[in-house]
A and B are shown apart, each in its own frame.
Chain A
Amino acid sequence: MTETSARTTDTLTPVLTAGWADERSWTLDAYARRGGYEALDKAFAMGPDAVIGAVKDSGLRGRGGAGFPTGMKWSFIPQDNPNPKYLVVNADESEPGTCKDIPLMMASPHTLVEGVILSSFAIRAHTAFIYIRGEVLHVIRRVQAAVAEAYAAGHLGRDIHGSGYDLDVVVHAGAGAYICGEETALLEGLEGRRGQPRLRPPFPAVAGLYASPTVINNVESISSVPSIIAHGAEWFSSMGTEKSKGFGIFSLSGHVQRPGQYEAPLGITLRELIDLAGGIRQKSDGQRHELKFWTPGGSSTPLLTAEHLDVPLDFEGVGAAGSMLGTRALQIFDETVCVVRAVLRWTEFYKHESCGKCTPCREGTWWLVQTLARLEKGQGSEADLDLLLDQCDNILGRSFCALGDGATSPISSSIKYFREEYLAHLTHGGCPFDPAASTAWSDRTVGATA
């Protein structure tokens, strides 16, 4: 039902990506030519509550993966709390497979800055922070410059546009820690501490940065706000599906002909996206490889397979298929890829990034790597699969934050769909796959083996 009703709009709907090909798109001039910062006066005339109302009505849900309604999150800020309110943008994009916020901030940092102003105004914050992972130097340059330009043009600072509203924005570079994408760990990093998650409650809306009411939103969520204010909540909600409104950036990577960013209404399917991307990659003889497995929203979302090609990529559709929409980070793997190798590598990542605060995650991810590494080498026995699932069971829902939960997703989903492949490592005495066949240059090094 959602599929048919959603198709009143075009297949791709560039909004956030619309200006990315413009000459010097990162500058204020280029952004202003597209009507940039015009939503400010409209919002100032509406007032903060009406801005929150518009974002609620639009149906915008968090684009950082959780999908929590953005307007509702804003309305949790207790306005009778005497402390200052803060907006913090989570620009710590580091979930494996996720690569949408980085190109957005590089090509169109002013979209984010305008969103920051509108969102801060809505929650009555006078200081906002953009926490960008440190490992993306040029993106940091572009956001720093955009903030400076916005100050110079009177879009930031005192009495913005004569509205009486004041806002300061600080661009903050992180220092390498996946865990800081978790919102309370991010706050710790922003307070100059080790990035370890905090116990909740209290939630950041009540006691966040400096124990004050704080909204933390993803880059893409905040960047969607200017278009909602400019064109209206109804315009936004005319796109997408019943409960997953609007557009989002879908990031295709891996074994497709044209990996890249595709901005579409929520509810598009992987089949459509792969078709737009020119299909699964071709062999040198023109034959096509086949889709084997994929992540719908980063490595922390359970793997799906070719049987899920027609699942609507919205929060409900992917959830019903046993995974999560996450960040729409569609990593595509063809039949040349060993799923055990893929999962082991992700698991090593979680082990490396575990912050060490809680035992199930700190110890559990270590044990997962031990068990998986043995299996990958063809050692161990079939009982190790049950051991892995048991270890997952002891981590999922028992760790302090979602990192531990995420670590179990690739393992349990891969055993569910590819149990035989794990066993093949045991019978084969090691990995039966040739890693050279999966590389971007495999056509040059291996013959086509149809």
Chain B
Amino acid sequence: MISDESLAELRAIAARYPQPRSGLLPMLHLVQSVEGRITPEGIEACADVLGISAAEVSGVATFYTMYKRKPVGDYHVGVCTNTLCAVMGGDEIFARLKEHLDVGNDETTADGKVTLEHLECNAACDYAPVMMVNWEFVDNQTPESAVQLVDDLRSGAEVRSTRGPRICTWREASRVLAGFPDGRVDEGPSAGPASLVGLGIAAERGWSAPSVEEAQDAQDARDGEGGHAVAEEPEREAAATEDAGTKEAEAAVVEKESPTTGTAAEKGDAQ
């Protein structure tokens, strides 16, 4: 059942965007926060607000893995089993949790507390093996710490993210994803230890980016090296010509780049 209050919030999400349909992803997060999953009623509500068909909404809801058709427990527990985390122990952790909780992948414990799922890379590889609870980081896990974690979650003990706040429920998390902050932003650290390793080494050894003056001096020194300056000249000219080129010429560069860099390189943009 979607309340009038929720409907108003769905409309408020759509209103954030120049075109309302852009709000659909966060709107579906809101549906999950009030319904505990993507329900037919939630799909209808989104369709009504956006003036599109339920089939169109459903097509979107089934594309993205964070949207669930089955009820999710209070705590969505994810274990990264992409290559690096798997190798570092994610496979063992996932196997142990399946056994300990007596559930399979994407299943919920009988008490409705924990839904277990294996995850793809969650962008925390320097903290491998990584787990997520309701999309909060739980870094550097072992099979033992993972068992302790789910036991604490099931017993109602307060659990904190290793790099974030006290863990809220899955429904509460979904509401934040819908764009309604929960006031927990100031909990947790700025960064975990691995994020700060390079910064710490630089501080120890007195390393830093150059000052503007140092950069200028270095540039002058390079310009002073005859051979180097000569070697650099043609390139600068080429760059200048390119800059002066017409829009058509520039577009041609992109088109030329795209099939080749676009295959492999844009993958980069593809991540």
Residue positions of A touching B, CB distance < 8 A: 5, 8-15, 17-18, 20-22, 24-27, 56, 62, 64-68, 72, 75-76, 78, 84, 90, 92-99, 101-103, 106-108, 127, 133-138, 140-142, 144-145, 148, 170-179, 181-183, 185, 189-195, 200-201, 203, 205, 210, 216, 218, 231-232, 234-235, 238-239, 242, 247, 250-254, 258-264, 276-277, 297-300, 324, 326-327, 329, 331, 333, 337, 341-342, 345-346, 349, 352-353, 355, 396-397, 401-403, 405-406, 409, 435-436, 438-441
- Report whether B82 and A349 are in contact in the complex, using a CB–CB cutoff of 8 Å: yes
Q: Are A299 and B83 in contact (CB under 8 A)?
A: yes
Given contacts A177-B65, A238-B216, A326-B267, 5 further A-B contacts (CB under 8 A): A13-B207, A17-B199, A65-B269, A238-B214, A355-B63
Please indicate the chain B residues that have their CB under 8 angstroms from the CB of A327 in the complex: 268, 271
Query: Is A144 touching B270 in the complex (CB atoms < 8 A)?
Result: no
Q: Say if the beta carbon of B165 comes within 8 Å of chain A.
A: yes
Cβ–Cβ < 8 Å partners of A11 in chain B:
205, 207
Across the interface, which residues of B come within 8 angstroms of A239, CB to CB? 209-210, 215
A262 & B60 in contact (Cβ 8 Å cutoff):
no
Closest Cβ of chain A to B205, distance in Å, is 8
Q: Is B103 an interface residue (CB 8 A)?
A: no
Determine the distance from Cα of A203 to Cα of B262 in the docked complex, in whole angstroms: 11
Interface residues of chain B, those whose CB is within 8 Å of chain A, are 16-19, 21-26, 28-29, 50, 59-60, 63-67, 78, 81-84, 86-89, 91-92, 119-129, 132, 134-137, 140, 142, 161, 163-165, 173, 176-179, 181-182, 184-186, 188, 190-202, 205, 207-210, 212, 214-216, 218-219, 221-222, 228, 232, 242-243, 247, 250-251, 253-255, 257-259, 261-271
Smallest beta-carbon distance A58→chain B, Å: 11
B123 touches A101 (CB 8 A): yes
A13 contacts which chain B residues (CB < 8 A)? Answer: 202, 207-210
Docked-complex contact B25 and A440, CB < 8 angstroms: no
**Closest partner residue, chain B, to A135 (CB atom):** B135
Check A26–B185 contact: CB distance below 8 A.
Answer: yes
Please, which residues of chain A bring their CB within 8 A of the CB of B24?
Answer: 192-193
- How far is it, in angstroms, between the C-alpha of A133 and the C-alpha of B124 when the chains are bound? 13
In the complex, number of A-B residue pairs with CB atoms less than 8 Å apart: 417
Q: In the complex the two chains form, what is the Cα distance from A62 to B257 in whole Å?
A: 14
> Known contacts A93-B123, A144-B181; is A137 also within 8 Å of B136 by CB?
yes
B18–A210 touching, CB < 8 Å:
yes
A-B residue pairs in contact (CB < 8 Å), sample of 18: A13-B210, A25-B190, A25-B191, A107-B191, A135-B132, A136-B137, A145-B181, A175-B67, A192-B50, A238-B214, A251-B125, A260-B126, A346-B82, A401-B270, A402-B270, A405-B264, A439-B92, A440-B129
Determine if B185 and A261 form an interchain contact, defined as CB atoms under 8 angstroms apart: no
User: In the bound complex, what is the Cα–Cα distance between A5 and B91 (angstroms)?
Assistant: 45
* CB of A327 to closest CB in B, whole Å: 6
